[in-house]
Structure 1
């Protein structure tokens, strides 16, 4: 028992071993990441700025798109700065507190994606199925409640997850990933993690339930849209990008969960790293591009914003 207590006290720093086999390519990875992360920031900030500056875009759908981009910046900030530092460092370590913070930021961001896409689906349902009541239902108060739900539900869930993780007695300090991850830390526990696993599955199934709810609502919307050409056009322009974002986020999250729980150590580390990073690589850049390029009014305002900046520079 005393040795276990010593182990618990000694785990003040975790070692991240995900880069061990790819360090010979670290400068290439650093160069690519140093280009890719600013691109993520630029795309998301451009959409956020465009929506905030133009009154035409101060509508519920665009406010939720803005929230999706803010969340993209929030989630990637928990990984990319630390990853860039690790690529130039010989020791890939993170403090115990830093590890818990990274878990909170990354995973609350993923859950926030699901909750934001859910309120966006509700907004599209009201816009297409109850257009005459749209402005009476989607009031500023309703929008505020939706935004609070997008953030508070994931934050509350992750606070409980972190509190359960922090109570574990750990017998190891090596995490076989590029970043701190819930299941990876739980696997280091000296004792049973049944409570953590059960709660983790509850949270996962709850937010996957959001995705199922959205898919079901879209089946209903498709049936409704068949009766009207205008409704079909509205569905194709606003709902298809949303559905694509949902599929993208859901697939990325499933990759991470399946890899964390059932991933084989015989797989090449580069492949394992890509599977573990898919939700940090694709959704943050794809979401602003989907909405920025597909929605005509957003695309026009983005072009005006960029064009006016270039004109001012001249």
Structure 2
């Protein structure tokens, strides 16, 4: 490195040895550059496990990097060295040419960031995943069995529970398996399948929430025409559309992504997502970026439609003297489900597009899993607690079971 204004030149040689060999590496380089001025040579070492040698700090100070900037640079050096060593260790069993796309394996580098907390994640997921399965299955069972709940609103709630089961199962078992087996790689085909599952879940979720918002709008704003407008045929159509459109959209996304030439193998997450894969591409990504913008715009339009319907609902409820609060209470679980989706998706969008290094890694992983694991638990609990008829049916069945057992 040199600076013409300062008339300064620095000779820097960086090696990343095993920590025990750092002193020997320094001596070898000092012998090599013995004939040069000592104050302009920097034989620096960063250990393969992330230990940064003292001469590195001297180099940074001489370059004008001091205080917090110096500490940040040393930390990033340590992380990059550790990441490289981690990558080499994961690839130790691989042989042959990996250029063939179907043989590519990605390294999920997110597991390195949570390695010290891996058993905490296992314990929490082992608790949350069965809870997610049980709560959603109970909700589906109650709605299917009880004829009093065979109405459009409850059919859409049942559909939401099915979507929660689908989305919650897309990631949780995968993460548990990876942590327990300490295998932090994923094949190209498995990555595409996971992207498809996550994208269809998100699409089904927001589409069904839009249909549910329409249901609440008709129920509150046009109560006398509710059954006439929302016929069984339209209910079935709404459920089919909430699954079909996301599957078509995700199929197009996967077909475009599958044609990319991939030049990297490290995904800085605990699961595959489309944007992380696109960032590793060395071919033209203009088409998939444009398609992504269009799909994101459609999602924003759906969210705007939902909020618009709720503005209308609130205005109607304010005009009603007594029944307004009761009617609006049926919308609270739906609003919670919508906020879960918007908050979780927004953070995931910001994390993918912007630098979030200032946020602790564990926090980033937890929030990125919010929509995929916590939201499918919160939704059925809210509908079970806040929806009066579902709450009454569940209470009735539990009371009957208790009395029967005694």
TM above 0.5, yes or no, is yes
SS of residue in 2 equivalent to 1:192 = coil
- Alignment-derived partner of residue 199 in structure 1: 291
| 1:207-229 deviation digits (Å, cap 9, x = unpaired) | 12111111011111211222223
Query: Structure 1 residue runs of 4+, over 6 Å off?
Result: none
Among 236, 254, 274, the alignment partner of 1:182 is 274
- Alignment-derived partner of residue 280 in structure 1: 372
- Alignment-derived partner of residue 68 in structure 1: 160
> Are positions 1:58 and 2:150 aligned together?
yes
**Structure of higher CA gyration radius:** 2
Cα contact 2:213–2:309 (8 A) shared by 1: yes
* Whole-angstrom distance in 1 between the partners of 2:102 and 2:212: 46
- Alignment-derived partner of residue 327 in structure 2: 235
> Are positions 1:96 and 2:188 aligned together?
yes
| 1:141-200 deviation digits (Å, cap 9, x = unpaired) | 000110011111111111111111101000012211010101001111012312111111
* Whole-angstrom distance in 2 between the partners of 1:17 and 1:298: 43
> Are positions 1:49 and 2:141 aligned together?
yes
- Alignment-derived partner of residue 150 in structure 1: 242
| Bigger RCO of structures 1 and 2 (CA < 8 A, at least 6 apart) | 1
CA shift at 1:304, angstroms?
3.0
The structure with the greater share of residues assigned to helix is: 1
Q: Gapped runs of 5+ residues in structure 2? A: 1-96
Cα contact 1:16–1:179 (8 A) shared by 2: yes
> Are positions 1:304 and 2:396 aligned together?
yes
Q: Normalising by the residue count of structure 2, what TM-score does the alignment of the two structures yield?
A: 0.73
- Alignment-derived partner of residue 214 in structure 2: 122
- Alignment-derived partner of residue 269 in structure 1: 361
| 1:25-65 deviation digits (Å, cap 9, x = unpaired) | 22222111101110111111111111111001111001101
* Whole-angstrom distance in 2 between the partners of 1:155 and 1:309: 40
* Whole-angstrom distance in 2 between the partners of 1:223 and 1:16: 48
Cα contact 1:47–1:288 (8 A) shared by 2: yes
Q: Gapped runs of 5+ residues in structure 1? A: none
* Whole-angstrom distance in 1 between the partners of 2:215 and 2:374: 25
CA shift at 1:11, angstroms?
4.7
SS of residue in 2 equivalent to 1:14 = strand
> Are positions 1:214 and 2:306 aligned together?
yes
CA shift at 1:234, angstroms?
4.1
More displaced 10-residue stretch of structure 1: 279-288 or 289-298: 279-288
* Whole-angstrom distance in 2 between the partners of 1:9 and 1:128: 54
CA shift at 1:241, angstroms?
2.2
* Whole-angstrom distance in 1 between the partners of 2:264 and 2:405: 55
Cα contact 1:292–1:298 (8 A) shared by 2: yes
Specify whether residues 9 and 99 from structure 1 end up closer, same or farther in structure 2 by C-alpha distance, changes over 3 A only.
Answer: closer
Cα contact 1:8–1:170 (8 A) shared by 2: no
* Whole-angstrom distance in 1 between the partners of 2:110 and 2:336: 30
More displaced 10-residue stretch of structure 1: 246-255 or 8-17: 8-17
Specify whether residues 10 and 282 from structure 1 end up closer, same or farther in structure 2 by C-alpha distance, changes over 3 A only.
Answer: closer
Specify whether residues 224 and 42 from structure 1 end up closer, same or farther in structure 2 by C-alpha distance, changes over 3 A only.
Answer: same
Cα contact 1:16–1:176 (8 A) shared by 2: yes
Q: Normalising by the residue count of structure 1, what TM-score does the alignment of the two structures yield?
A: 0.93
Cα contact 1:8–1:171 (8 A) shared by 2: no
- Alignment-derived partner of residue 139 in structure 1: 231
SS of residue in 1 equivalent to 2:330 = helix
- Alignment-derived partner of residue 202 in structure 2: 110
C-alpha RMSD over aligned residues: 1.9
| 1:52-87 deviation digits (Å, cap 9, x = unpaired) | 110011110011011111100100111011111011
Work out the number of aligned pairs and report it.
Answer: 310
